[in-house]
Structure 1
Amino acid sequence: MRRTPSNVRSNEAVAYARVSTKDQEREGFSIPAQLRLINEYAAVHGLKITETYTEAETAGHTGREAFGRMMNALKSPGTCRTILVEKTDRLYRNARDMVDLNDLKVEIHFIKEGRAVSEDSKPSDKLVNTILTATAQHFLDNLREETRKGMLEKARSGLWPSSAPLGYLNTPGPNGKKIIVPDPEMATHVQRMFERYSTGRFSLRQVAQLAVDEGMRFRRSTGPMPAETVRKMLKNPIFNGRFVWDGVEYEGSHEPLVSVETFDRVQEVLQCKRAVPLRITEIMLAYKGLMTCRHCGCAIVGQIQKKRYTYYRCSGYKGSCHEPYAREEVLDQSFSEQLDLLSIDDEVMGLIEDGIRKLSEEGETDRVGAMNEANQILRALKGRQELLYEDRLEGRIDTATYDRKAVELRRKTRSAEERLAALKNPSRTRGTERPHSGTLELARTASREYSRRSGPEKREMLDYLVSNCSWGDGRLDVEFKHPYALLAVANAEYRQKKAAGEPSDGLCQLWYPRRDS
């Protein structure tokens, strides 16, 4: 008969139930089913359940919270010494758990197996318990190995074998295997994170914060994403169509969210640490760091007063400067007027597009030649892949070498395929029919669109269009970036000559593009 401390009521017990997978719940091993069995058993044997511990996670991994709480409770003086559980593999699945419970000198009732084990059990009963525990551990070890093999085989076939990363969703594939597809709600946010960081102007925290401000939501946290988490995300090749599994990189069959070019540019920024850290308040100040004072050359800085009004002034770093404060609204109007220098009328738009069409006809030969070259590169890469595969089949190289070289070849192949696709699509290729349509449309509507945008959007637009800006005596001077600088000069000359009544033939020559020499 088992010994019970005098301060413990012998009819008290705790219940423990666990499921490790959704499949087990569907197969009748749900927690409610286990608890019904335990409660019925307790009622028949006159046991009072004082505490119930349940959890839905694998027992093969550390971190079973309910099991740990039960162990701590049983260590306290005066607690009951009986555990009711459905069967062996619901309670422990390794020898360590069995030893820990034996040290507590508790009595365990394995209800479905019709047996109970305590420190007073016969040696034969203890041996049976040890064998059943070892069998459970062997089953778990074998399950782990089979799972690992299955996931590795899935990775080798180009399928991501785990939970989908942010920006993707897990979904059943055509053959029943789970695949990852772009998340229609989050994929765009992930793409913008890569695009912003690739410019080198944003810090890791800013990239995450801007994504949250635009509606991005993280799965495991409602707070800001830590900078190190953002770094790992931007370094993860899965967004570029590749992934690393068990230390080996594979070419994925899923749809990439970012191009090879953007991903590589992000890696360069991360490696060279070229991202300039701007404080969030600086992002709110659309013109901070964009202008210098025309009088002394110092930076024009901004500040918010009374939480409503934004002013800009010379920093006075080189000494006192008499340049007065300027309201942000004044600068808004000044920048809008400068952007109006890019605005071209319908007649000019037609002239430029006609010239570009003529130029694209001349460049068609170059495009065809580039396509032929890209096709040759692709054929060479595919030939190298076939030779590599033959080397592996013949045993001339090992698996690790094959995997490493195969990934590199697939990466080069994909880059060449992207280049060929761009050449085949005139809308994406420089030198074809409308390569500057986006540039022209932006120039045409810049002033109007600028007035409609928010502070951060205005800054993003200015960073794209202008470089050196100076402010002084209520006047703004800007230098446009290429090719907008040429457009601004030509447009100013066009307006001047048109106002002077110059014949249209002379005006047309201003807008005909020339091929680079």
Structure 2
Amino acid sequence: MKAIVLARVSTEEQKDAGNSLPAQVARMETYCRQRNFQIAKTLSFDESAYKTKRDDFDKIIDYIKQSKEKIIVCFDKVDRFSRNVFDKRVAYLYEMAMSDKIELHFASDNLIINSQISAVEKFHFGINLGLAKYYSDAISDNVKRANEAKIKRGEWLGWAPIGYLNVENENGVKSIIVDPVRSPYITKMFEMYSTGNYSMRKIKDFLDKAGFTSKSDKSAPMTISMINHTLKNPFYYGMMRIKNDLYPHKYPALITKYIFDKAQSVSAGWHKKPFKYASKPFSLRGMVKCAECGCTITPETSKGHIYYSCTNFHKFHAKRTYIPEKDLLKPLYDALESIQLTDDRVKELTEDLRQSTKNQNAFFMNTVKTLRAEYDKLENRINKLADDKYDQSITNDFYNKKFKEYTEKQGKVMEELAKHDKADKEYHITANTVLNLAQRALEIFESSEPQEKRQLLNFVFQNLELRQKNLEYKLKTPYDTVLLANNCSDLLPGSDSNRRPIGYTYPLIS
């Protein structure tokens, strides 16, 4: 009689326990020779017997269906056949055996299922299936408990995201470390995207030029979807997402939560961002509103000259008034000239800045010291909490509740530290930028291209409005203060209680 030999494993542990595919095949070949069965086919595969989708096993059933003679289907044990009593394949092959179309042989269990099976053998078969399912369920419970314990210890359960590496030490203990080659690019990705000045397409171009590839395929570049997935992964600031919940992990963070939140904010509002015009660039395009009807002041070219006018979308004006760009820019030129600082004034302000920096540094250091002390206090509480749990002096529910409370507080402290660190850096960067720009604002503006002029105007001015032929504007802080420092009272009709200019209206040439 012809026989099919089927060997299956689903875990590495089964291979190590003597249940490897070759070992199963050898035992069943011996079994078939002792009974003079002719082995027509030998099949072996790695596949879980507990899952409903078993493609390899379905191919075997198709082969049995096509056979015109009775076949012996030989397994090593019942649990190699199935661990799920509700598997439709179990019922199908069992019915075929009861119809005397096949026989199921389980070599190591010394069990044969055919049409002459006794009640005791049926009971034996059912018990073996039940024990196989219980064993699988018990493993599942143990895995769940082990995973829950790992999550509480801040351990990631799967493959590390790009920017990190899975490692294993000499004792077989697995962990995750920062990838020294890829991690700087991940940090740069978040920093670029959080500014709002780079789309994912631009970030992809940057990564492609740097030769940055995906983690799964070293020859393939990162795709837009991979970049999007990476930018939304909280793992990089210290939290791991498991299903729909976030848990703190123990591995080094590549970014701060502040940067991550900024990136999410940019992503959420990206569809609202204005995009560059494809047509000829203009210095004030899209920057000026009509003070009377709220419509945009748009540019157009006529006989080689640029003119601006209200779109008059709401039909507020009786007719459109056209103003040359050079006339519209004149008050802005004067304002840029008025905020220029002399070398002596820059030297004086630099000295003031140096003194202010000392006071600012003292405040920064005291604040950071307080926050770090708070973080260490929470860390000590977490350690004590773990000791109490191991001593069984507190319940698991109490441990979980307090652990979550302390780690959330630590996350908030780290967020505050990141904000103070960023503010400290930006304090120096912004102060130097203000002084340098104030010293050369007009020179930079005159030598720039239209697109660069737009960027500079956006940096210095706000609320540009055209009222009839008069341009109204406000200087952004701190350039309003620079204007005050230059004692340009002739340009300031008044100021508010914070000593900031409330605006200036410059009459245009008719």
Question: What TM-score do the two structures reach when normalised by structure 2?
Answer: 0.60
Change (3 A) 1:465 1:399: farther
Corresponding residue for 2:401?
404
Matches for 1:200-349 after TM superposition, within 5 Å: 212-215=204-207, 217=214, 225=225, 230=229, 234=232, 237-243=234-240, 250-264=247-261, 269=265, 275-278=269-272, 282=275, 291-292=287-288, 298-299=295-296, 317-318=313-314
| Aligned-partner Cα distance in 2 for 1:439–1:89 | 75
Q: What is the DSSP-based 3-state SS (H/G/I as helix, E as strand, rest coil) of the residue aligned with 1:429?
A: helix
| Aligned-partner Cα distance in 2 for 1:120–1:129 | 14
Corresponding residue for 1:370?
367
The Cα shift of 1:241 comes to 1.5
Change (3 A) 1:141 1:114: closer
| Aligned-partner Cα distance in 2 for 1:89–1:141 | 13
Corresponding residue for 2:166?
170
The Cα shift of 1:378 comes to 4.4
Corresponding residue for 1:510?
none
Matches for 1:131-150 after TM superposition, within 5 Å: 131-150=127-146
Matches for 1:36-47 after TM superposition, within 5 Å: 45-47=37-39
| Aligned-partner Cα distance in 2 for 1:26–1:444 | 75
* 1:9-46: CA deviation from partner (whole Å, max 9, x where unpaired): x63x6554433234555777565776687789889732
Matched to 2:49, the amino acid is A
- Kindly indicate whether the alpha-carbon contact (under 8 Å) linking 2:285 and 2:298 is maintained by their aligned counterparts in 1: yes
1:66 to 56, 65, 82: 56
The Cα shift of 1:422 comes to 7.8
The Cα shift of 1:401 comes to 4.0
- Kindly indicate whether the alpha-carbon contact (under 8 Å) linking 1:260 and 1:415 is maintained by their aligned counterparts in 2: no
Change (3 A) 1:360 1:96: same
Uncovered stretches (5+) of structure 2, i.e. residues with no partner:
208-212, 300-307, 323-332, 489-510
2:112 to 97, 111, 117: 117
| Aligned-partner Cα distance in 1 for 2:361–2:26 | 77
The Cα shift of 1:254 comes to 0.7
| Structure with the greater alpha carbon radius of gyration | 2
| Aligned-partner Cα distance in 1 for 2:129–2:460 | 70
Matched to 2:80, the amino acid is R
Change (3 A) 1:152 1:379: closer
Change (3 A) 1:237 1:223: closer
Greater RCO, 1 or 2 (C-alpha within 8 Å, sep 6+) = 1
The Cα shift of 1:82 comes to 4.4
Superposed CA RMSD in Å reads 6.3
The Cα shift of 1:259 comes to 1.4
Q: What is the DSSP-based 3-state SS (H/G/I as helix, E as strand, rest coil) of the residue aligned with 1:171?
A: strand
| Aligned-partner Cα distance in 2 for 1:237–1:54 | 41
1:160 to 156, 162, 165: 156
Matched to 1:120, the amino acid is S
Question: What TM-score do the two structures reach when normalised by structure 1?
Answer: 0.60
- Kindly indicate whether the alpha-carbon contact (under 8 Å) linking 1:14 and 1:80 is maintained by their aligned counterparts in 2: no
| Aligned-partner Cα distance in 1 for 2:457–2:70 | 72
Change (3 A) 1:223 1:435: closer
| Aligned-partner Cα distance in 2 for 1:101–1:459 | 76
| Aligned-partner Cα distance in 2 for 1:315–1:15 | 82
Matched to 2:225, the amino acid is M
* 1:143-199: CA deviation from partner (whole Å, max 9, x where unpaired): 222222222222222222333345443222686432233445665565566557767
- Kindly indicate whether the alpha-carbon contact (under 8 Å) linking 1:298 and 1:315 is maintained by their aligned counterparts in 2: yes
Question: Aligned pairs, how many?
Answer: 452
* 1:365-422: CA deviation from partner (whole Å, max 9, x where unpaired): 4335434543564466467657867987898974334323322323323543565688
Change (3 A) 1:368 1:23: same
- Kindly indicate whether the alpha-carbon contact (under 8 Å) linking 1:371 and 1:420 is maintained by their aligned counterparts in 2: yes
Matched to 1:357, the amino acid is R
Change (3 A) 1:299 1:45: farther
The Cα shift of 1:357 comes to 1.7
- Kindly indicate whether the alpha-carbon contact (under 8 Å) linking 1:73 and 1:79 is maintained by their aligned counterparts in 2: no
Matched to 2:112, the amino acid is V
Matched to 2:37, the amino acid is H
| Aligned-partner Cα distance in 2 for 1:211–1:86 | 55
Q: What is the DSSP-based 3-state SS (H/G/I as helix, E as strand, rest coil) of the residue aligned with 1:243?
A: strand
Corresponding residue for 2:91?
99
Matched to 1:145, the amino acid is D
- Kindly indicate whether the alpha-carbon contact (under 8 Å) linking 1:357 and 1:434 is maintained by their aligned counterparts in 2: no
The Cα shift of 1:277 comes to 1.4
Q: What is the DSSP-based 3-state SS (H/G/I as helix, E as strand, rest coil) of the residue aligned with 1:225?
A: helix
Matches for 1:502-517 after TM superposition, within 5 Å: none
The Cα shift of 1:140 comes to 2.0
The Cα shift of 1:256 comes to 1.9
Change (3 A) 1:93 1:431: closer
Q: What is the DSSP-based 3-state SS (H/G/I as helix, E as strand, rest coil) of the residue aligned with 1:277?
A: helix
Corresponding residue for 2:507?
none
Change (3 A) 1:46 1:402: closer
- Kindly indicate whether the alpha-carbon contact (under 8 Å) linking 2:78 and 2:109 is maintained by their aligned counterparts in 1: no
Q: What is the DSSP-based 3-state SS (H/G/I as helix, E as strand, rest coil) of the residue aligned with 1:139?
A: helix
- Kindly indicate whether the alpha-carbon contact (under 8 Å) linking 1:466 and 1:479 is maintained by their aligned counterparts in 2: yes
Give yes or no for the alignment of 1:179 onto 2:181.
Answer: no
The Cα shift of 1:253 comes to 1.0
| Aligned-partner Cα distance in 1 for 2:52–2:392 | 40
* 1:181-220: CA deviation from partner (whole Å, max 9, x where unpaired): 3445665565566557767x69xxx976555554474859
- Kindly indicate whether the alpha-carbon contact (under 8 Å) linking 1:171 and 1:178 is maintained by their aligned counterparts in 2: yes
Corresponding residue for 2:355?
358
| Aligned-partner Cα distance in 1 for 2:342–2:27 | 82
